[in-house]
């Protein structure tokens, strides 16, 4: 569940005045390479069949995409700085999302794996309560909700198995000075809370922290990044898609590490073109090749070295 949007983006490499965007769109295009997806969110009358066809890529189910008569689709406009690490929001129009009340079909309510993309914590909580059958639930959020809806956000965090935030947001949420300390703080909030934290670190990769383990993976090295919009949602799609595809095996360390790798590889395709353009044409062979490259980057044979005292 999350936003389905039209974005207007300007980067040092060009611009798009109106392109398919939104967290749910990016997530579904990534996750559907690994497992069937059902997407939940509202759109307006301005969301046409061409856009809906993109959402259906790789047979994503759109039965719970609510088209609001007379409404306009969520819109976001932003501009990126020269290094693509800074972003200024020029306009945000919630439109049909402003009064959205999610009503999930029985098929979506029975989902085994659930991702709640960044949106109001109250909406996330409503969907979580409709999906009590889900055995693995992850969520994203942002600094806005930490500022204006902290109590609701903390309540929502207590309802999920995995919290995904960037390192700055984790530090803001907890008041801790480092990613690891912030993650440990959230993990200490109690047995009803998340059992794992994914800290997103942009061009520096991401880290997975549990009570007894720590794993980090670099971003896939690229010489040219065109548009970072949606990269975190694509990462989440790869992460959750891999976990959903391996549910019979369970959540062992190898599954989680592979989830991090597939999320990272898919996000690398996303940033090479504007919006969802690259994900629409990404092939399983190309994704698998990048996952293999990530494995080789971090693999080394440990030598038996005599250290000097």
CATH topology (fold) of 5-298: 3.40.1190
* Residues 272, 35, 63, 29, Cα dihedral to 10°: 0
3-state secondary structure of 151: helix
pLDDT of amino acid 259: 98
Phi-psi region for residue 70, left (φ > 0), alpha (ψ -120 to 50) or beta?
A: left
pLDDT of amino acid 176: 97
Q: Residue 70 and residue 225: Cα distance in Å, rounded?
A: 37
Mean pLDDT computed over 167-178: 97
pTM of the model: 0.96
Which residues, listed in sequence order, are joined to residue 206 by a DSSP beta bridge?
Answer: 200, 217
Q: Which of 78-87, 115-124, 253-262, 266-275 has the lowest mean pLDDT?
A: 78-87
91's enclosing H/E stretch is strand 87-93
Q: Name the residue ranges covered by the structural domains of the chain.
A: 5-298
Query: Residue 83 above 90 pLDDT?
Result: no
Residue 230: partners with Cβ closer than 8 Å, 6 or more residues away: 21, 22, 23, 25, 26, 270, 275, 276
Which of the four pLDDT bands, split at 50, 70 and 90, describes residue 192?
confident
Q: Residue 227 and residue 122: Cα distance in Å, rounded?
A: 30
Q: Residue 28 and residue 61: Cα distance in Å, rounded?
A: 10
The tokens describing 276, both together, are: 């969802």
Q: What are phi and psi of 116, to 5 degrees?
A: -110, 105
What is the strand order of the sheet 87-93 is part of? 14-21, 5-11, 74-80, 87-93
Phi-psi region for residue 220, left (φ > 0), alpha (ψ -120 to 50) or beta?
A: beta
The tokens describing 72, both together, are: 């306009």
Which of the four pLDDT bands, split at 50, 70 and 90, describes residue 193?
confident
Cβ atoms of residues 108 and 38 within 8 Å: yes
How many other C-beta atoms can be found within 10 angstroms of the C-beta atom of residue 152? 16
Q: What are phi and psi of 107, to 5 degrees?
A: -65, -40
Q: Residue 68 and residue 10: Cα distance in Å, rounded?
A: 29
Which of the four pLDDT bands, split at 50, 70 and 90, describes residue 195?
very high
Query: Residue 85 above 90 pLDDT?
Result: no
Taking only the tens place, the pLDDT of each residue in 47-76 is 999 999 999 999 899 999 999 999 999 999
Q: Residue 60 and residue 259: Cα distance in Å, rounded?
A: 20
pLDDT of amino acid 61: 97
Cβ atoms of residues 221 and 264 within 8 Å: no
Q: Residue 47 and residue 26: Cα distance in Å, rounded?
A: 16
Q: Match 């806005």 to its residue by tokens.
A: 144
Mean pLDDT computed over 229-246: 97
pLDDT of amino acid 25: 97
Query: Residue 46 above 90 pLDDT?
Result: yes
Cβ atoms of residues 276 and 70 within 8 Å: no
Taking only the tens place, the pLDDT of each residue in 270-287 is 999 999 999 999 999 999
């Amino acid at each position: 569940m999350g936003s389905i949007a039209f974005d207007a983006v300007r980067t040092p490499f060009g611009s798009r005045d109106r392109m398919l965007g939104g967290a749910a769109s990016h997530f579904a295009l990534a996750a559907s390479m690994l497992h069937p997806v059902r997407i939940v969110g509202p759109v307006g009358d301005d969301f046409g069949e061409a856009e809906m066809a993109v959402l259906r890529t790789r047979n994503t189910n759109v039965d719970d995409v609510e088209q609001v008569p007379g409404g306009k689709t969520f819109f976001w406009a932003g501009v990126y700085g020269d290094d693509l690490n800074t972003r200024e929001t020029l306009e945000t129009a919630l439109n049909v999302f402003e009064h959205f009340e999610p009503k999930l079909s029985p098929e979506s309510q029975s989902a085994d794996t659930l991702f709640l993309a960044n949106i109001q914590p109250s909406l996330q909580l409503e969907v979580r309560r409709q999906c009590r059958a889900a055995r693995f639930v992850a969520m994203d959020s942002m600094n806005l909700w930490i500022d204006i809806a902290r109590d609701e956000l903390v309540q929502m965090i207590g309802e999920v198995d995995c919290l995904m935030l960037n390192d700055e947001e984790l530090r803001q949420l907890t008041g801790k000075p480092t990613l690891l300390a912030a993650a440990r703080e959230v993990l200490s909030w109690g047995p009803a809370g998340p059992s794992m934290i994914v800290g997103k670190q942009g061009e520096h990769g991401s880290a997975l922290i549990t009570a007894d383990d720590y794993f980090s993976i670099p971003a896939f090295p690229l010489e040219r990044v065109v548009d970072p919009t949606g990269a975190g949602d694509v990462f989440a799609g790869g992460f959750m898609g891999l976990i959903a595809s391996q549910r019979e095996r369970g959540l062992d360390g190898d599954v989680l590490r592979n989830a991090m790798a597939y999320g990272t590889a898919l996000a690398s395709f996303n940033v090479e073109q504007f919006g969802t353009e690259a994900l629409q044409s990404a092939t399983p062979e190309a994704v698998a090749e990048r996952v293999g490259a990530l494995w080789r980057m971090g693999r080394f044979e440990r030598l038996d070295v005599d250290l000097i005292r």
